[in-house]
Structure 1
Amino acid sequence: MSVNVKGRNIDVTPALKEYVEKKITKVTKQFKTVGDISAVLKVEKGNHIVEITVPASGILLRAQETTKDMYSSIDLVVEKIERQIHKYKTRLMKRKYSNFADTAVPAPAPAAEAADEGEFEIIKNKRFIMHPMTPEEAILQMNLLNHDFFVFYDPDLGATNVVYRRKDGKYGLLSPELK
């Protein structure tokens, strides 16, 4: 495991780098495998922003915090990561002692009509590594990241699927098929 600390509009001093490494290493000791941790320290309009991404044991933990002091931002973002880890571990324990087979994933909502004809502009293209997981694990990962949807590979079906959070608070599963 290595901690990559980068600065934007700020020089990352050895003391800052050591502080980030010390705080995040203490938190990630709970995982068997931890990938390369990314920490980005930024200063924008007097605000000190810290973003940390931790790939650990098949999950991705990510948090961001903004304050007027860099060390405070680091402390708060590490606390967020700790809460995510606690949330993840708690859900794993609940899952271990409950039967997810009884939990039905609702059918996906019908596709919406296409938007007006015209130009569509893609403003961001993101590449990512998909790990094989069950729909329940994907929902857990989606909730950890605080996203509304999550793309994953289901090894049982041998296909890429999407879980999403519905407006009613329940979850949907999209299983595409080629025609």
Structure 2
Amino acid sequence: MNLNITGRHVEVTPAIRDYLSSKLDRVIRHFDNVTSVTVTLSVEKLKQKVDVTLHVRGKDIFVESEDADLYAAIDAMTDKLDRQVQKYKQKLTDHNHESVKHQAPPEV
């Protein structure tokens, strides 16, 4: 998995990088097919903003979060991303089971 962290008007310190990677590891353990993650940290007036694009096979999952505190924005983004990854994973498993259910019965 490739992790790209960029900062707009904010310096990406090693502490922020470690915090982000630990939070993203929690999300990625649910799903093994993650190829890359792109994180953009930005400051707009008094709002800290975090954008994440998670590249998985067949889909890109995008999440953004804003808060007055950067760490709170990262936490909110992680929760949103976790829900979306679990929803996508559930869709994949549901679709795989439906194809087995709708097959024609074997002819005798």
- TM-score between the two structures when normalised by the length of structure 1: 0.52
Give matches, 1:85-96, under 5 Å.
85-96=85-96
- Runs of 4+ residues deviating >3 angstroms: none
The whole-number CA distance in structure 1 between the counterparts of 2:59 and 2:28 is 12
Superposition TM-score, scaled by structure 2 size:
0.82
Asked which structure has the greater CA Rg, the reply is: 1
Bigger strand share? 2
1:18 is matched with 18
Alignment: residue pair count: 100
Distance apart, 1:32 and its partner CA: 2.9
Aligned counterpart, 1:38: 38
Instruction: Answer yes or no: is 1:73 the counterpart of 2:73.
Output: yes
**Corresponding residue SS for 1:89:** helix
Matched-pair contact (CA < 8 Å) for 1:4–1:37: yes
State the structure with bigger RCO (CA 8 A, min sep 6), 1 or 2: 2
Deviation at 1:36, TM superposition (A): 2.4
Please give the secondary structure, in 1, of the residue aligned with 2:33. coil
Match of 2:106 in 1: none
Bigger helix fraction:
2
2:33 partner amino acid: T
User: How far is the alpha carbon of 1:40 from its aligned partner?
Assistant: 0.4
| Corresponding residue for residue 9 of structure 1 | 9
Kept in 2: contact 1:31–1:57 (CA 8 A): no
Query: Match of 2:17, as an amino acid?
Result: K
Q: CA RMSD in A?
A: 1.6
- CA distance in 1 between counterparts of 2:38 and 2:73 reads 15
Structure 1: which 5+ residue stretches go unaligned?
103-179
- Offset at 1:58? 2.7
Instruction: Tell me if structure 1 keeps the 8 A contact 2:30–2:86.
Output: no
2-side partners of 1:55 and 1:16: how far apart? 21
The letter for the 1-side match of 2:27 is V
CA distance, structure 2, for counterparts of residue 64 and residue 92 of structure 1? 23
* Residues 36/96 of structure 1: CA separation in 2 closer, same or farther (3 Å cut): closer
**Residue 56 in 1 paired to residue 21 in 2?**
no
Deviations 1:119-172 (A, max 9, x none): xxxxxxxxxxxxxxxxxxxxxxxxxxxxxxxxxxxxxxxxxxxxxxxxxxxxxx
